[in-house]
Amino acid sequence: MTRQAITLIGGGLVGALLAQLLARRGFEVDVFEKRPDPRQVGFVGGRSINLALAERGLQALRTAGLSDDVLPRAVMMRGRMVHPLEGTSGLQRYGVDDSEVIWSVSRGGLNMLLLDAAEAAGVRLHFGQSLVNADLDARRMVLADEEGTMRPHDAPVLIGADGAGSALRTVMDHYRPLGIRVEPLGHGYKELEIPPAAGANRFAIEPNALHIWPRGGYMCIALPNTEGSFTVTLFLPAQGPHPSFDTVPDSAAAAAFFRQDFPDLLPLIPRFAEDYDSHPVGGLSTLYLDRWHIDGRALLIGDAAHAIVPFHGQGMNCGFEDTVVLADLLAESGRDTGDAFAEFQRIRQPNANAIAAMAVENYIEMRDSVADPRYLAKRELGARLAERAPKHFMARYRMVTFTHLPYAYAYERGRAQDQLLEQLLRGSTSANDVQLDAAVNTLQATLPPLPQLRHG
């Protein structure tokens, strides 16, 4: 029997994992990747140097048989270490123990591991090959190599995992409008580095945490790398009154700004001036599409279909969850490709929309509320309710980060729980003001039990 051929555009995180999953399910898979092979020339990033891997992404890696290879190369993050401008830093743990942690992984390292795994599963990888056009009726595409030489190539089924700037999306949109909507956040980001420390403890600050310096309308975060460094990301309005990337255009202005706003962080970044002046400001937007596919001919997945802002650390995790759903649908015997693509969109689109909204909300929470007493009171009351009535209350962050409950469910349930907390606190800023037995009764009378949880 001939194996069904699938052509993937993009061998980034989502493309490489999807390729492996499809090959393991018996498909003949070709991946065309614009960049050169990172395993030979080194990883050319352009985006965040490290990322937070959470339960959804981990579950997809388990399905691919790769989690045991990835975790030893990751740094465990047990919670948020919040660094206020005044006062002492404190760790807000994600869970009671290490069963609920997230992992800092190197984007380049993970991408290379996934490419190795795809190749080992029989995927044909073609580097330095960009999709520039496609004729979806004739089921042919046009590729350009690194010299710009074009060549046609047959592609009966095309899947675009070519990221937020997807070329396949542009082609599909010309063929049949996809209903593309881009919502810029109005904030950008810049990456800096805390190098490894001298001495036995290689890390200059607590290694097992996601560090946050919340400052109201903006913030810095830092994620650990295995060799002892941290990647720091400054998030700031792109334009407007101070501080914005407009008002801190260079390292001299930025150093003065950091001395004022991040005085404990600045001394940890010895190459501040070089990093600030040479690293670009990245833009942040949310991408929504009405349609993710053209019949059974072409489909978008991962950031190409639903790029989101990075404040929930879920873009890759969501894309990884996509890959398992799609590979399973395509492998179902007797299912037509167009039907599988339509079903994929039906299942995943409401969830992608929900995580997109939660990611924007989480920016406000991270940069502002983690230091806000009212937020902390709600958090504390939520934690008490979750302890007393775990079948009825679970923090939204926990549903998103540590379970496989659909994002859309987490979004709706989170909203209902938040309304209840507001009602129980009634303007108070301390969870101690709330009588817990009565609060549990109200919770159980108001909200149905949570669904049965599937843990990895």
What residue ranges bind ligand FAD (CB under 6 A)? 9-15, 32-35, 47-48, 51-52, 130-131, 161-163, 167, 189, 233, 282, 302-304, 310, 313-317, 319
**In the complex with ligand FAD, which residue's Cβ is closer, 161 or 298?**
161
**In the complex with ligand FAD, which residue's Cβ is closer, 240 or 280?**
280
**In the complex with ligand FAD, which residue's Cβ is closer, 286 or 337?**
286
CB of 309 to ligand FAD, least distance (A): 8
**In the complex with ligand FAD, which residue's Cβ is closer, 352 or 434?**
352
Nearest by Cα to 112 from 194, 245, 16, 225:
16
**In the complex with ligand FAD, which residue's Cβ is closer, 66 or 389?**
66
Chain position whose Cβ is nearest to ligand FAD: 12
Here the tokens at position 373 are 């007493």
CB of 167 to ligand FAD, least distance (A): 3
CB of 68 to ligand FAD, least distance (A): 20
105 φ, ψ (degrees, to nearest 5): -120, 150
Distance CA 186, CA 21 (A): 36
- Residue 160 · residue 171 · CB < 8 Å: no
Distance CA 297, CA 115 (A): 25
Q: Beta strands 140-144 and 150-154: pairing type?
A: antiparallel
Q: Is the dihedral of CA 224, 41, 308, 266 positive or negative?
A: positive
CB of 11 to ligand FAD, least distance (A): 6
**In the complex with ligand FAD, which residue's Cβ is closer, 70 or 421?**
70
**In the complex with ligand FAD, which residue's Cβ is closer, 47 or 384?**
47
CB of 391 to ligand FAD, least distance (A): 28
CB of 282 to ligand FAD, least distance (A): 6
Nearest by Cα to 316 from 33, 22, 56, 8:
56
Distance CA 434, CA 436 (A): 6
DSSP letter at 242? S
- Residue 359 · residue 309 · CB < 8 Å: yes
Question: Could you tell me how many helices (H) and strands (E) the chain has, helices first?
Answer: 15, 19
